[in-house]
Structure 1
Amino acid sequence: MEIQIRRGDTLWSISNTFNVPLPLIIHSNPTANPNTLSIGQTIQIPGYRITTYTIKPGDSFYKIATKERISVDSLMLVNPGMVPTALQIGQQIRIPRRVTTTIIDPRQNYDSGILASDLEALATLYPFMRRRTIGNSVMGKDLIEVQIGNGERIVHWNGSFHANEWITTSVIMEFVNSYLLALTNNETIRGRAMLPFYDQVTLSVVPMVDPDGVDLVLNGPPEGNFGEEALDINGGSLDFSGWKANIRGVDLNNQFPAKWEVEAERKPKSPAPRDFPGYAPLTEPESIAMAELAGELSFEKMLAFHTQGEVIFWGFENLEPPRSRTIVNEFSRVSGYEPIRYVDSFAGYKDWFIQDFREPGFTVELGQGINPLPIGQFDEIYQKTLGIFLASMYM
């Protein structure tokens, strides 16, 4: 929602008028200098939308504000130039309405188009959420990272490294929306205030690492060469439910130079629906983008969300720092998931992150069953994962 600055307005006064924390106002307006606001300058107010209201007999700004549970000053701000004492029956005015519920629907087959649309809607409503493209998929789709927060500690989450594990994106996006909502409404999540997290942590999220693969699983092969090649790799079958790889049959979570040679020796030697690690490490644009992101941001900790098994893998070759054990034990306590330190599987993003950065890295396997997990498991998965999301920011 936009308002225009009046004489005497400050970002602090606007924060008080709309009851939105000042840091969210400041970060929603990165080009505005709080000390040199000018009359008529446009300012974004996060967490609000404009609706219209038709004046009825007996209405006044005070009566309308009382009914709508907003301040008279907020009405004045969204109706510049209007004279409150000269309202006319039938006249339309603007009403600022606080958004008090989540606006996205992750309980559906969540492909890259839905993700892009939802991120656009969230960025419009919550402009303090930063969005950028960190690279492109094989087919040229944007690999989107979002950042929320202003803290020095950078915590990273990612989902859908594997195509048929797309429900991880849905779960991540549900929390992203809930976090943004709680911040603008000064609410808690599981009894924890969210603004301290915002001040202390920068949350980096890549919700969908493999958009081409997710779309292939959910929507079938695209027209053209990419679709034809994927169909050939899949043995001519139109059932892509078992497909974990990117569009050209490379398993992105077997692409990282952390004992990659071991995986290459025992995994498929050519493109396949799953497990082919590529002809060399870091050949795919998606895995390259994720490696470059880690190098750029130097995450304090990293969580890669996969399915299934309700376990958390947290070690690699005894290179993980001692605090990883403390963190994973808290993850286990709040979720019921089982911590597993070592597993005979290498070349994953978690493995490489621990190896190269010596910081806590985790592969969190959501849910139980056979991939792709049905969306009917969403609520159960989310409730168990919610504690992990929160703990990753306070541990």
Structure 2
Amino acid sequence: MDNGYRYTDMIEECRTLVSAFPFVEAHRIGWSVLGRPLIALRCGCGPKRIHMNASFHANEWITSALLMRFVSELSESYRSGKKLGGQDVSGLCRETTLWAVPMVNPDGAELVQCGLCESHPLYRELLAWNGGITDFSGWKANIRGVDLNDQYPAFWEEECKRRGVNGPGPRDYPGPYPLSEPEAAALAMFTERLDFHAVVALHTQGREIYWNYRDFEPPNAELLARKLGSVSGYKPVKLSGSDAGYKDWFIYRYRRPGFTVEAGYGENPLPPRSFDSIYAELRPLLLESLRL
């Protein structure tokens, strides 16, 4: 983690998990703009299906490492029969199946962590979209300059008006139309195919939990958010003035519990040295999420 957490790190860790634990499966659910496979990990065998994802935003790549640590610990506890965070994982994984997509935006995460080289296929475009600045550490969008968490068909037109960004850039451009980007479209198709009971999208930062969407959320959504907050110390927040996010679309489409968790506190990208302290807060929240 001292040098970040790249797509290749995630892929290698996925291979290790699948090799070590026969009950863990890796599935390709789509491709990024630059052709990187988008991977979903399956852990558990229960009838309840919970989805977690990370790194919608490029400069929030630390969430990928956090989610992979959780999947790894969950798998090890499931195999050994030992408790995780004081909880019986074996029983939990017999009741629930976790589907995790650790890195929704691999092209963007790579750009933030490795920078832009002249051989990049979108070198000229990216430099222009970034205002001629060669520092991409603040980049949130995918590699085509589209904010993947503004891409979903949940009052998308309202989000376009609110953002007021008319073309590709580091952040806040919702794209030319909903689900125009392969990463967002792949996750939407994956969600529709698996028909999840609840979803958790990991972002940074703020130590907050967003649980509502335009009153389309189920009646117990706030109570569930309070449970997540009580085990983590994160603050449940009723959010307004935001549309077209993945959590928004899930609630709007299914009327089921959906949560955006803003992990950690500081300025994105959060430094690798904060990983352990953030994970200590986040693990009990993720464990509780499996009970949603």
Q: Does 2:227 correspond to 1:327? A: no
What runs of 5+ residues in structure 1 fail to find an aligned partner?
A: 1-105
In structure 2, how many angstroms separate the alpha carbons of the residues matched to 1:192 and 1:175? Answer: 14
Is the CA contact 1:155–1:201 (under 8 Å) kept in the aligned structure 2? yes
Match for residue 242 of structure 1?
138
How many residues align? The count is 290
2:248 counterpart of 1:351: yes
Q: Within 1, Cα distance between the matches of 2:128 and 2:245? A: 26
User: What is the CA distance between 1:108 and its match in structure 2?
Assistant: 4.2
Q: Distance in 2 between matches of 1:365 and 1:159?
A: 11
Q: Secondary structure at the match of 2:215?
A: coil
Q: Shift of the alpha carbon at 1:121?
A: 1.2
1:216 maps to 2:119: no
Which ranges of 4 or more aligned residues in structure 1 deviate by more than 3 Å? none
- Report whether the alignment pairs 1:116 with 2:11: yes
Distance 1:195 1:184 in 2: 8
1:376 matched to 2:273:
yes
Contact 2:213–2:239 (8 Å) recurs in 1: yes
Q: 1:356: Cα distance to partner?
A: 0.3
Structure 2 SS opposite 1:189:
coil
For the 8 Å contact 1:328–1:339, the answer to whether it is kept is yes
Distance change in 2, residues 1:373/1:130 (3 Å): same
Question: Which whole-Å CA distance do the structure 1 matches of 2:61 and 2:123 have between them?
Answer: 19
* 2:221 partner SS: helix
Q: Following the alignment from structure 1 to structure 2, what is the Cα–Cα distance between the partners of residues 351 and 155?
A: 16
1:231 deviates by 1.8
* Structure 2 length-normalised TM: 0.97
State the TM-score, normalized to the length of structure 1. Answer: 0.72
User: What does 1:194-209 correspond to in 2, within 5 Å?
Assistant: 194-209=89-104
Distance apart, 1:345 and its partner CA: 1.2
2:48 corresponding residue in structure 1: 153
1:231 pairs with 2:127: yes
Out of 143, 167, 175, the position equivalent to 1:270 is 167
**Percent identical:** 43
* Equivalent residue letter for 1:109: G
Tell me, yes or no, if the aligned pair for 1:107 and 1:378 is still in contact at 8 Å. no
Residue 221 of structure 1: how far off its partner (Å): 2.0
User: What's the CA shift string for 1:48-70, capped at 9, x where partnerless?
Assistant: xxxxxxxxxxxxxxxxxxxxxxx
2:142 is paired with a residue of what secondary structure?
A: coil
SS at match of 2:143: coil
**1:289 pairs with 167, 186, 199, which one?**
186
Preserved contact between residue 366 and residue 381 of structure 1 (Cα < 8 Å):
yes
Query: Does the Cα contact within 8 Å between 2:217 and 2:257 map onto a contact in 1?
Result: yes
CA distance in 1: counterparts of 2:48 and 2:203, whole angstroms: 24
Which protein, 1 or 2, shows the higher relative CO under an 8 Å CA cutoff with sep ≥ 6? 2
Alpha-carbon contact 2:218-2:256 (below 8 Å) kept: yes
- Displacement, 1:224? 3.2
Q: CA-atom RMSD, angstroms?
A: 1.1
Alignment partner of 1:172 is 2:67: yes
Correspondence for 1:135: 30
Matches within 5 A, 1:93-108: 106=1, 108=3
Q: Secondary structure at the match of 1:247?
A: coil
In structure 2, what is the Cα distance between the partners aligned to 1:235 and 1:393? 42
